[in-house]
Amino acid sequence: MKKTTSTPQWVLLCGWILFIQPVIAQVNSLSTRVFDKKSVQPNTVIVDVRTPAEWRAGHITGARLHNVLETDSFNAQIANWDKSATYLLYCRSGKRSQRALELMQTAGFNQVYDLAGGFLAWEESKKEVPNKIIKPLHRLVIQVTSGDTLVWKGLMNNLKHLQAGWGDSAQILVVAHGPGIDLLRKEQTTQQNQIANFNKLGIQFLACENTMAERKITKESIVKESGFVKMGIGEIVRLQEAGWSYIKAGF
């Protein structure tokens, strides 16, 4: 009797596990309507897990860009995020956002959801609500190569005026390399709060990995709001070739 009852109990347990897993995935995937409602609730963060190229073509109002395909960078960034907040993830169609959701759940986040159907579904549902989708009218890349704190302060002042004048109609990237990398180092920057505030508004900060490698700087020592790019100067050139305006921070 003991042998005949133990096997069904094990099978039943496995059956419950296999049954529960897809239900959890469905609960964590939200329709565009529910996603929209949750997005305006307090302590809620919208995260775009697509690539910079996809982001530039259009994104959900108020979203932050964190490319999940750069897994090491993504994991390093979420390690510093507030686990008490609610996170709403989306990608192009839903596959990558599920991957990001799994990474965040593994890291200990409980309030994390993704958008069923991704940005494609969002665009389709918001054709009559254009203010829910940002299509940038201005695209600007700012190069930071100086370790001078006065230059950093001037940069933040420029960002303040750009944000006030253009708001969400501008896509702004700040690329730091060479001595300018210190702007994004936790122990060196004098602009941590400003960087955090501008990042929440959608302004992106990128640290050059080549500079980091030369100076033996780890990703963990970079402020959590920063992303990473392999070659800072190369990214600046690429963006200019793609039609972005260019400014070098300094006096």
Domain coordinates in residue numbering, the chain = 28-131, 136-248
For the question of residue 14 being annotated catalytic, the response is no
Reported CATH class of domain 136-248:
alpha beta
| pLDDT (0 to 100) of residue 163 | 87
Give the homologous superfamily in CATH for domain 28-131: Rhodanese-like domain (3.40.250.10)
Catalytic: which of 91, 103, 144, 208? 91
Q: How far apart are CA 66 and CA 161, in angstroms?
A: 25
Choice among 83-92, 101-110, 125-134, 209-218 with the minimum mean pLDDT: 125-134
| pLDDT (0 to 100) of residue 147 | 97
Is the Cβ–Cβ distance between 46 and 62 less than 8 Å? Answer: yes
| pLDDT (0 to 100) of residue 205 | 94
Three-class DSSP category at 62: coil
pLDDT digits (tens, 9 = 90+) for 123-178: 898 877 766 777 778 889 999 999 999 999 999 999 999 989 987 678 899 999 99
SS3 content of the chain, % helix, strand, coil (to 5): 50, 20, 30
**What is the residue type of 227?**
G
| pLDDT (0 to 100) of residue 129 | 73
| pLDDT (0 to 100) of residue 2 | 43
Torsion of CA 149, 151, 153, 157, to 10 degrees: -170
| pLDDT (0 to 100) of residue 153 | 97
